């Protein structure tokens, strides 16, 4: 067996602290799996939504990286690098001028223009929490010709490059102007990017199969690939994503050679592949992820702060992580909203979560709040190994504290669709759902999507919390790393008191691939450039 032990990177070293840092149960479509020109992948979920701007779902983000590109990107040293464009900054820090590099084309053959990028940034800025902050500070965004555009700020915002380089949810992917003109709350219907792969629309089977072909006209950057920056050189002709909700089916397929790459194997089945010398088992994400629970603030019972606090007290991370991951070698008890091992790691307000919970305290808060037995409807995905256990464990904990809980089973893509509904539960809404984040997308007060108090303009759950917004502004105004850290700690204490969300621990699981596949890159998200495949 070929394995590589993941080494925890040295974070920040002064850089990150100063700036943003910011799976159909049957085996199908394997006729091409024996081909060295086709890479066959089982992702962590089926793909049913194709617009990476209207959702934070990771499978849609991963789809985005296949067909779209970004203006800037983080490298493995957490430094912002040019991707589609380079930029200059005026002496007063108020003007950022971007210039598109040569050779950029959309998949329909037309050139990428400044107007395309402006429209894309504007649409993204309506959906993304950090993008909203950027536009709060923006005076104008204008084109200076076909290849140049300028951000003019009302006040300095040193986080602008890091915000445009953010690696995950919601990524500012560039699209043609005609597509980016789609309202930000409406899904796009045409899937044309300028990225290294083209989406094969006619072969798309929602939730089952997605196909990508090499974009022959893509011109990679000349630099070596590093994280999400550098040259995106495609070395296979075709990538097929095939959903396999049944973990055992997926494990059998990777061992038999019917598939090439398995993104998220269940930890309890890893012994089935760890002894196979035809396979590599390795962590590709250096920081791992955080699992969490989010409540709906719009409707009872979680419009009541004391009832939200009772729910937090009822839960503890160890029970969730034991059910979700099982093997302590792959998880960490972590009370920080910003992830552990990060510059803003804090334990403020997380004592019961990182301990054994406080069921009696939860019961007392429910009584004090006058909880009347209003059902708590929890969305329960049944087809994705990384989100199946959390709702069940949480439901048991909430029931023990006196909550009336209703688990509603559905596939993950239905969860992704339904959690966007702001309707009451009786009309198809919800009270709680669970999801996971990679640590880079939650590690600062600016980029953490749940730390947004803008009500219905924020992340699913929609808390209205002016104090939270004030504390985010305080963080942004901080002049030194120590001031930033203090502001982040203050924000964490407030957010856990309000129960903006419930952090349920940190984890890092490996992927599995056949040894005929080489060139996989360490990155915070799965990427498929630089990969080569030889015949078995």
pLDDT digits (tens, 9 = 90+) for 512-535: 999 999 999 999 999 999 999 997
Structural domains of the chain sorted by starting position, each given as residue range(s) with its CATH number in brackets? 13-283+510-533 (3.40.190.10), 289-507 (3.10.105.10)
Give the number of C-alpha atoms closer than 13 A to the C-alpha of residue 263, restricted to the C-beta side.
28
Beta strands in 473-515 (DSSP E): 502-507, 511-514
Give pLDDT, residue 474.
Answer: 93
Residue 410 has pLDDT above 50, yes or no: yes
pLDDT of residue 28: 40
Query: Taking CA 513 as the corner, what is the angle to CA 508 and CA 518, rounded to the nearest 5 degrees?
Result: 110
Q: Phi, psi at residue 308, to the nearest 5°? A: -65, -40
**% helix / strand / coil in the chain, to the nearest 5?**
30, 20, 50
CA angle 208–211–212, rounded 5-degree value: 150
pLDDT for the residue numbered 35: 63
**Prior bond of 170 cis (ω within 30°):** yes
How many residues in total does the chain contain?
A: 536
DSSP H or E run through 468: helix 466-477
Among the residue ranges 9-18, 214-223, 272-281, 497-506, the one predicted with the least confidence is: 9-18
State the average pLDDT over residues 496-501: 97
Q: Decide if 314 contacts 357 (C-beta within 8 A).
A: yes
Give the least confident one: 225-229, 234-238, 245-249, 502-506: 245-249
pLDDT of residue 413: 85
pLDDT for residue 286 is more than 50: yes
Report the pLDDT value the prediction gives residue 78, as an integer from 0 to 100: 85
Cα–Cα dist 246/31, whole Å:
20
DSSP 3-state of 59: helix
Q: Report whether pLDDT(14) > 60.
A: no
Q: What is the mean pLDDT of residues 172-198?
A: 97
Assess whether pLDDT exceeds 90 at residue 29. no
Q: What is the mean pLDDT of residues 234-251?
A: 94
Could you tell me the pTM of the whole model?
0.84
Read off φ and ψ for residue 373, nearest 5 degrees. Answer: 85, 10
Mean of the pLDDT values across residues 196-203? 97
The C-alpha atoms of residue 134 and residue 153 are separated, in whole angstroms, by: 9
Q: 30-34, 138-142, 412-416, 498-502: lowest mean pLDDT where?
A: 30-34
The token duo for 20 is 């943003």
List all residues 6 or more positions away from 179 whose beta carbon is below 8 Å from its beta carbon. Answer: 188, 190, 192
Mean pLDDT across the stretch 202-219? 96
Which tens digit of pLDDT belongs to each residue from 106-119?
A: 999 999 999 999 99
Block residue for tokens 């971007």: 98
Query: What average pLDDT does this structure show over 37-63?
Result: 94
> Sign of torsion, CA 118 124 127 128?
negative
Token pair in block for residue 33 = 């799996």
Q: How confident is the model at residue 25 (pLDDT cuts 50, 70, 90)?
A: very low
Q: 169: pLDDT confidence band, cut at 50, 70 and 90?
A: confident
The pLDDT mean for the chain works out to 91
Select the more confidently predicted residue: 415 or 535.
415
Mean pLDDT is lowest, of 2-6, 57-61, 400-404, 455-459, for 2-6
pLDDT of residue 345: 94
Which pLDDT score, from 0 to 100, does residue 36 have? Answer: 67
Q: Where are the alpha helices (DSSP H) in 48-91?
A: 58-67
**Could you give the 3-state DSSP secondary structure of residue 74?**
strand
- Does the pLDDT at position 26 exceed 80? no
Please give the pLDDT value at position 314. 98
Position 17 scores a pLDDT of 34
- As a whole-number percent, the residues of the chain with pLDDT over 90 amount to 82
């Amino acid at each position: 067996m070929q394995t590589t032990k993941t080494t925890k990177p040295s974070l920040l070293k002064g850089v990150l602290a100063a700036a943003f840092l910011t799976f159909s149960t049957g085996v199908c479509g394997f006729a091409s799996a024996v081909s060295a020109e086709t890479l066959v992948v089982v992702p962590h979920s089926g793909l049913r939504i194709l617009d990476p701007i209207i959702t934070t779902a990771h499978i849609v983000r991963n789809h985005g990286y296949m067909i779209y590109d970004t203006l800037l990107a983080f490298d493995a040293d957490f430094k912002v690098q040019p991707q589609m464009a380079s930029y200059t900054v005026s002496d007063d820090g108020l003007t950022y001028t971007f210039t598109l590099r040569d050779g950029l084309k959309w998949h329909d053959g037309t050139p990428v223009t400044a107007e395309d990028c402006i429209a894309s940034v504007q649409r993204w800025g309506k959906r993304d929490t950090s993008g909203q902050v950027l536009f709060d500070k923006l005076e104008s965004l204008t084109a200076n010709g076909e290849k140049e555009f300028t951000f003019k700020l009302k006040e300095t915002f040193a986080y602008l490059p890091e915000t445009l380089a953010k690696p995950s949810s919601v990524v500012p992917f560039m699209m043609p102007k005609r597509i980016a003109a789609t309202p930000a709350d409406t899904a796009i219907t045409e899937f044309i990017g300028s990225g290294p792969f083209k989406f094969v629309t006619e072969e798309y089977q929602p939730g089952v199969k997605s196909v990508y072909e090499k974009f022959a006209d893509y011109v990679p950057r000349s630099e070596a690939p590093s994280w999400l920056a550098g040259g995106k050189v495609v070395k296979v002709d075709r990538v097929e994503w095939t959903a396999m909700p049944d973990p055992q089916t997926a494990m059998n397929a990777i061992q038999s050679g019917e598939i090439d790459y398995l993104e998220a194997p269940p930890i309890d089945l890893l012994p089935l592949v760890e002894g196979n010398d035809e396979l590599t088992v390795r962590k590709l994400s250096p920081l791992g992820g955080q699992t969490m629970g989010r409540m709906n603030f719009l409707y009872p019972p979680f419009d009541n702060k004391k009832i939200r606090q009772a729910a937090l007290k009822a839960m503890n991370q160890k029970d969730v992580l034991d059910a979700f991951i099982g093997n302590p070698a792959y998880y960490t008890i972590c009370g920080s909203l910003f992830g552990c091992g990060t510059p803003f790691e804090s334990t403020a307000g997380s004592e019961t979560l990182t301990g054994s919970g406080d069921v009696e305290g939860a019961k007392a808060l429910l009584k004090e709040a006058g909880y009347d037995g209003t059902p708590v409807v929890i969305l329960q995905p049944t087809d994705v190994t990384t989100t199946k256990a959390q709702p069940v464990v949480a439901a048991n904990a909430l029931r023990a504290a006196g909550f009336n809980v209703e688990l509603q089973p559905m596939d993950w893509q239905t969860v992704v669709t339904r959690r966007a509904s702001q309707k009451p539960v009786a009309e198809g809404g919800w009270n709680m759902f669970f999801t996971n984040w990679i640590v880079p997308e939650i590690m600062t007060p600016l980029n953490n999507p749940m730390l947004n108090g803008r009500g219905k303009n924020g992340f699913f759950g929609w808390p209205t919390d002016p104090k939270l917004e004030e504390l985010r502004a305080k963080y942004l105004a901080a002049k030194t790393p120590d001031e930033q850290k203090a502001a982040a700690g203050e924000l964490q204490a407030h957010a856990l008191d309000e129960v903006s969300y419930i952090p349920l621990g940190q984890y890092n699981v490996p992927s599995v691939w056949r040894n005929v596949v080489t060139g996989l890159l360490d990155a915070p998200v799965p990427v498929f450039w630089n990969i080569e495949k030889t015949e078995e």
